[in-house]
Amino acid sequence: MYTEKRGLARRAWGTGLLSCAVLCLAAGFAACQTGMGSGTGGGGNPPPPTDATISFCDDGEGACMPATSFSVASLRDLVINVNWENLSAGNHTQMVEVLQPGGGLYQASQSSFLVSDASQSSLTTKRTLPVAGAWISQRRMTGEWSVRVSLDGKAITSQTVQINP
Amino acid sequence: MNNRFSYQDQRHGAWRRLLCLGLSLLLAEPMLAREVIAIHSTATQVRGADATLSQVTPNTNSGGAATLAVASLNTGGGSNQRAIVEFDLSLLPNVAIKQALLTMHATASGVFGFPRTYGAYGLTSFFRESDVTWNTRVANLGWNAAGGDIGGTATSTAAVPGGISSSTPIQFDITSDVQNWYNGTPNYGTLIKDQTEGLNRGGAVTIFGSRNGTAANAPELDVTFVQNVTNLAAAPGNGTVTVSWGYPTPIGTVNTGENYNGVLILRRANFPVDKGSVPTDTQDPAMCSVVGSGTVVFDNTSLATSFTDDSSDPCGAPTNDTTWFYKVFLRDQKNYYSTQPITNGSVFTEEISGTPSATAANRQNSVWIAATFSTTLAAPSLFPGSIVMAGSQTNLSFGIDAVTGLRKYPPVSLGGPVTGRSPVIDAGDSSLASNVMYVADNDGLVYAIATDTGQILWAVNPTTLTTNGFVGSPSVQVKSFSDSMFTLAHDLLVVGTRNGASTTANRIVGIDGNTGATLWQTIGNAGGVAKMDIISSSPAIDFVNHAVWVTSRSGGATAQPSLWKLNPNTGAVLTTAALGDTDTDPTLSIPGDVLFVANNAGTIFAINPTTAATLKSVAGGDGAIISFPIALGLTSPYTVIFSGQTAVHAMKYDKTANTFTSLWSTTLSGPSAPIGFTGGAKVYVGSADGKIHELDAVTGVDGKQRTANTGQPGIVGDPALDTVLSRIYISTNDQRAYGFTFPF
């Protein structure tokens, strides 16, 4: 058993060295040059920061054309689209907080998604907020609403939307 | 000599121990609050769960297995395994979390590839232990990401050694997750996974005990916490407010030197003290200092049980005719408070309000205030005298003690926002023989919840689709109330969908109250059924005419039905009426001889419940009607009271004469639906001015009010009346529910 462990350990070292070489190649020639004293002073371009844009539309209008202002009398559902860019591969959790006029929390929802690899670094999530027949229309909660989005616990962006009488 | 040496030794030893203790207190991390409890997960804990998600058998449920597994395996393109654990925290309904350590007991691990690093992640989607697999979380709904919905970063990681052959604890610090669960984030449990999955050549597997196996190896959660005060009350006088409270009995083991020893009270005029306004643990803010939006008005370390806020208050006396809010932090000897770090919120700290006045009749106070964490404007559900149930738009359902306002148990975590008034059925009446509440959420799931414990008895996706959410609540045809015309074996739930993307294909669903099985669906624009627009209301069960009444929108058209009469046994459409867009609940008169419907144009209809024909209609003249009309009276003529956009209105409907006669209108800012009862002298209405208004049922005079929160935006939801305790309960858009006594 002990011999086997050492053997495994040796193989692990060998595998580690091989992995290191492969990673170095995979990281790009420039990175390797840095290690060789190329004087570039960096480890390659850092990945661009994750970004998101929020847009709104009314699901009841069929095409769901983006807008920033709606009439409470005609708005059926406020669709909140969050378009993510530069997501890293792996699991992520998105929190969407809908704030009513005045700033109090109206609704919060979290959802997770998986970015399987960097080629899928963009995606759009959709959250539907009922308006017609719900409290927003019944109690005429009109004014400037805002939506705040965070990813993995970090605030990313927010956007206002007007719901008019 | 020996004794002398021994004595000196003892003295030196005592000094050394004291010195060590002093140094440890100075140098060590602060001890974490005062009570500690170990929760060992067991199969009998009704709100606990655990299971293994296996990538190689992605549709196999292991909810009842005696062990859990975590594996990193690349066989066949992926054979990883992940363990999910959810604890029953019912022992800790009213606490602030200071630390939470999850211990998994590993009973076996491999050799190859070890040691491994495992991560604990907070799950972000609702699941059911009986349904959950690698692919599926509840009913027919999948995870967004197969293998469990989690964030990108583990809350905590732990090293797992290889060669484990006997029980070995593996510990994760999940404090921040548990604090979030006590601050409005649903508790969907914890997922444990290998940090480097897909290991080649044999893989690395660890076996853990589950709640269904050996008790000593079951998952364990060690929680350090501070409780809230009990029996918080406020009594206003002339220029005074007396606040009183009690001290809780310890639930866990008390840390040495950390006995509860008093309270710290923050005060604010007109509004509740903000959620983030909390004292810092281990510090003692000065009297009259400002902590966030509150002022320290009482700083006690001698187990006081009351505080009279009056002219002797060095921070300023409470002025008359202003509502003063008090946020009361229980503290221990080391100044650990009943609050959590600000980043994880602290809104649950007990609050109360009082309005002093020179005139006794103008003095008022809330009897309790409870956090709901989001805007909620539906009338709370209740078992009078016992429990108040409030849903939230953070996917939670709260069971609140009607007497004290404290939680009966930690909030029930659901799959989506809850916006309807969920029906509750007493155990003596329910075919489930249990005190039960039926909930439908915006994401399309329907639940039966035992209101005594918060246990979810069943959860289903009755339409099997993800587009059919529910905004209104279900209504229940109670078997024990029904005659022989009702042929179903159990209670029946009826609920309508609100698929905003369709004006034609919404549906009404009949669900078995005992099992959650879908018994029938009446689908718009299919099978001969007329087009059906969104349904935002709750049905009316007509025990007299053996029918279910449902209102809907009508696609903006005049000919499309918006009133539906269904056979409760089959869902067959008996008849319809086109009344125009209708979002309000239909209301039956007590004897069931008239159905009242109010549409979005503000017209009130008296409907013949036999034929669905309109007997009479009248324009309310005040825009769309809010929530529902109420119909008072045991026989015709009935008093129909409803709220429009600017006022509350009362009309008399005389069935014999077939006439509506206006009785009174009382102007209010953005009124809620009214509530009253036959024989009662008053009608109660919430308002957008942050108050509940008490109107005279005969004259409509707005005689008295109670202030919930007059701050922005200050919208008060539909009230509910508890005739056992003579209390009225409301929720608001300030993330709180309030209780007051009535009559005012």
Say if residue B168 is in the same domain as residue B54: yes
Output the pLDDT for position A62: 64
CATH code at B280?
Answer: 2.60.40.10
Give the residue carrying structure tokens 């850092």: A46
Taking only the tens place, the pLDDT of each residue in B39-72 is: 999 999 999 999 999 999 999 999 999 999 999 9
The whole domain housing B198 covers 35-225
Mean of the per-residue pLDDT values of chain B: 93
Contact list in B for residue A108 (CB cut-off 8 A) is: 184, 373-374, 393-394
Instruction: Measure Cα distances from B103 to A163, B40, B119 in Å.
Output: 48, 9, 12
Shortest CA gap A92–chain B (Å): 4
Say if residue B336 is in the same domain as residue B352: yes
Say if residue B196 is in the same domain as residue B89: yes
| DSSP string for A23-54 | HHHHH-HHHHHHHTT----SSSPPPPPPEEEE
Name the domain count of chain B: 3
Q: Domain spans of chain A?
A: 2-35, 51-164
Taking only the tens place, the pLDDT of each residue in B677-699 is: 999 999 999 999 999 999 999 99
Q: How confident is the model at residue B346 (pLDDT cuts 50, 70, 90)?
A: low
For chain B, give the number of residues. Answer: 744
Say if residue B197 is in the same domain as residue B253: no
Give yes or no for B534 touching A (CB within 8 A): yes
CATH code at B179?
Answer: 2.60.120
Q: Which of B210, B225, B240 is the endpoint of a domain?
A: B225
Of chain A residues 138-157, which have a CB less than 8 A from chain B? 138-141, 152-153
DSSP-based helix, strand, coil % in chain A, nearest 5: 25, 40, 30
Say if residue B178 is in the same domain as residue B46: yes
The answer to whether B327 touches B210, Cβ cutoff 8 Å, is: no
CA nearest B294: which of B317, B330, B266? B266
Under an 8 A CB cutoff, do B375 and A100 touch? yes
Instruction: Measure Cα distances from A93 to A153, B137, B343, B417, B449 in Å.
Output: 8, 17, 18, 18, 28
Q: Is residue B588 part of a domain?
A: no
Mean pLDDT of B719-741: 96
Shortest CA gap B352–chain A (Å): 20
For chain A, give the number of residues. Answer: 165
Query: In this structure, are strands A154-164 and A69-71 parallel, antiparallel, or unpaired?
Result: parallel
Q: A63-77, B235-249, B404-418, B496-510: lowest mean pLDDT where?
A: A63-77
SS3 B292: coil
Taking only the tens place, the pLDDT of each residue in B411-457 is: 999 999 999 999 999 999 999 999 999 999 999 999 999 999 999 99
Output the pLDDT for position B9: 38
> CA B682, CA B648: separation in Å to the nearest integer?
13
Taking only the tens place, the pLDDT of each residue in B9-32 is: 334 444 444 443 444 433 344 444
The answer to whether A139 touches B626, Cβ cutoff 8 Å, is: yes
Q: Is residue B744 part of a domain?
A: no
CA nearest B331: which of B368, B295, B303, B294? B303
> CA B160, CA B173: separation in Å to the nearest integer?
15
Q: Is residue B657 part of a domain?
A: no
Whole-model pTM over 0.80: yes
Say if residue B426 is in the same domain as residue B561: yes
Give yes or no for A88 touching B (CB within 8 A): yes
> CA B703, CA B330: separation in Å to the nearest integer?
37
Nearest chain A residue to B146 by CA: give it: A114
Residue B33 in this model has a pLDDT that exceeds 60? no
Q: How confident is the model at residue B712 (pLDDT cuts 50, 70, 90)?
A: low
Neighbours of B38 (CB within 10 A): 12
Shortest CA gap A112–chain B (Å): 5
SS3 B692: strand
Under an 8 A CB cutoff, do B185 and A140 touch? no
The CATH superfamily holding the domain A51-164 is: Macroglobulin (MG2) domain (2.60.40.1930)
Output the CA torsion B114→B119→B125→B131 (10° steps).
Answer: 30
Taking only the tens place, the pLDDT of each residue in B560-609 is: 999 999 999 999 999 999 999 999 999 999 999 999 999 999 999 999 99
Give yes or no for B163 touching A (CB within 8 A): no
Contact list in A for residue B395 (CB cut-off 8 A) is: 109
Taking only the tens place, the pLDDT of each residue in B217-230 is: 999 999 999 999 99
Q: Is residue B294 part of a domain?
A: yes
The interface predicted TM-score (ipTM) is: 0.91
Q: pLDDT: is B296 or B26 the higher one?
A: B296
Under an 8 A CB cutoff, do B417 and A107 touch? yes
Say if residue B73 is in the same domain as residue B219: yes
Q: Is residue B642 part of a domain?
A: no
> CA B478, CA B485: separation in Å to the nearest integer?
13
- Return the percentage of chain B with pLDDT > 70, whole number: 94
Say if residue B443 is in the same domain as residue B574: yes
Taking only the tens place, the pLDDT of each residue in B617-658 is: 999 999 999 999 999 999 999 999 999 999 999 999 999 999
C-alpha dihedral sign at A84, A87, A89, A94:
negative
> Which distant-in-sequence residues (6+ apart) come within 8 Å of B466 by Cβ?
B141, B443, B444
